[in-house]
Structure 1
Amino acid sequence: MSAAPAERADAARNRRKILDAALRIMAGDGAAQISLDTVAKEADVGVGTVYRRFGDRAGLVFALLEDREQRFRTQLEEGPPPLGPGAPAGRRLRAFLHALVDLVVEQRELLLLAEASSPPARYTSAPYAAQHAHVAALLRELRPDADADADTLADLLLAPFAPSLIDHQLRQRDVGTDRIKAALGELADALARRP
């Protein structure tokens, strides 16, 4: 099989300019203010370039999420333990769940936009697929006896990261990220214990 063609240098530069412009708008005015027109103006590119590249606002939102997810994956694959390789699966699972709380909180506005624009797309997005694969692999290592259930358990462990639930816990219940992480740590520890 041949590899996918590499992105042209000018296309890669434009993509980066557009994503950086969207991040600036989000930092200044909030994610709700992101539109393809305002991003094109901020990036100093034609609006057609943004439409061709991302299709619509949801496409741009998912591209922003995937951009941050790629950096997160690098931490998982190459970073220091316990988030990165080299720690026992139980410690890595706990570290992953804690880091994922921080990631969801950091991107909460974008995730809520993505969830509102296309709820089922969350489960078919590249970031979710990568997170699911990571958790399922850790579960298989941690509990070889539960190999057949690893994919289902991974979905269930990732379910609390629905942006609307995290937002509800932070805003309505006034639960801090430390309490969320502690509860998720208890779930990870319970899975690590043999029945």
Structure 2
Amino acid sequence: MPERRSRKDAARNREAVLAAADALFARRGSPEDVTMADVAAAAGVGKGTIFRAFGDRAGLLRALYEVRLEPIREAVEAGPPPLGPATPPRDRVPALLDAVLCFKLDNRGLATALEESGSGSPYQADHYERWHSLLQSVLEQIPGLADSGFTAHALLAATRADLVEHLAGEERVPRERMRAQLADLTARVLASGPPQGPGHEG
């Protein structure tokens, strides 16, 4: 019984820490302004509890990122069009990229902090690998489109957190313009495959 109670306490502490971190990151301009001590105080737990649950600051950022991403992931895996698996590939690719871009715009500070943490390479992050694999698998369903792996990398590069932060923060590009620019880029890439003649297999 004590073991079950300790597991319940750990789960409750984890939820409290994530909720506190979410609120702090939402209120402050930069995730760098939020310390582990701030999160611990807001959650009503000791700093040691956070380190045991998440390992380090990067682990906390990843966990919070995953929580915020969950609704999109559910829509991608089993939801209706345009994100869900029943959507035709040529329509699903731009919808997936738009969802990534909007998520990065809505979570600019968190996304930038996460992509800059750890190895310093966003390409080694778990969430990047999932998006790349998904996008590549959808691109492979489009006849005549060559090298779906590279194409997936190239399209996702347009949604990198540092680029989104530069465009939205430094250049003040409006959200809807950024979405339109990404949609236009995606449409041009998808239109670049060879024409499908009679008897041609992609």
Partner Cα distance (1:20, 1:157) in 2? 32
Query: TM-score normalized by structure 1?
Result: 0.86
Partner Cα distance (2:159, 2:145) in 1? 26
Question: What is the aligned partner in structure 1 of residue 4 from structure 2?
Answer: none
Alpha-carbon contact 1:122-1:128 (below 8 Å) kept = yes
Deviation at 1:91, TM superposition (A): 0.7
Question: What is the aligned partner in structure 2 of residue 127 from structure 1?
Answer: 127
Question: What is the aligned partner in structure 2 of residue 54 from structure 1?
Answer: 54
Question: What is the aligned partner in structure 2 of residue 32 from structure 1?
Answer: 32
Give 5+ residue unaligned stretches, structure 2: 1-6, 195-202
Going from structure 1 to structure 2, the CA distance change for 1:120 and 1:109 (only over 3 Å counts) comes to same
Give 5+ residue unaligned stretches, structure 1: 1-7
Q: Larger helix proportion, structure 1 or 2?
A: 1
How many residues end up aligned between the 2 structures? 186
Query: TM-score normalized by structure 2?
Result: 0.83
Identify which of 161, 165, 168 aligns with 1:167: 165
Deviation at 1:121, TM superposition (A): 4.5
CA RMSD, 1 decimal: 1.9
Question: What is the aligned partner in structure 2 of residue 12 from structure 1?
Answer: 11
Equivalent residue letter for 2:69: E
Partner Cα distance (2:173, 2:145) in 1? 34
Structure number with larger C-alpha Rg: 2
Partner Cα distance (1:88, 1:125) in 2? 28
Partner Cα distance (1:164, 1:119) in 2? 15
Give deviations 1:78-104, integer Å, cap 9, x for gaps: 222011122211111111111111100
- Please say if 1:152 is aligned against 2:150: yes
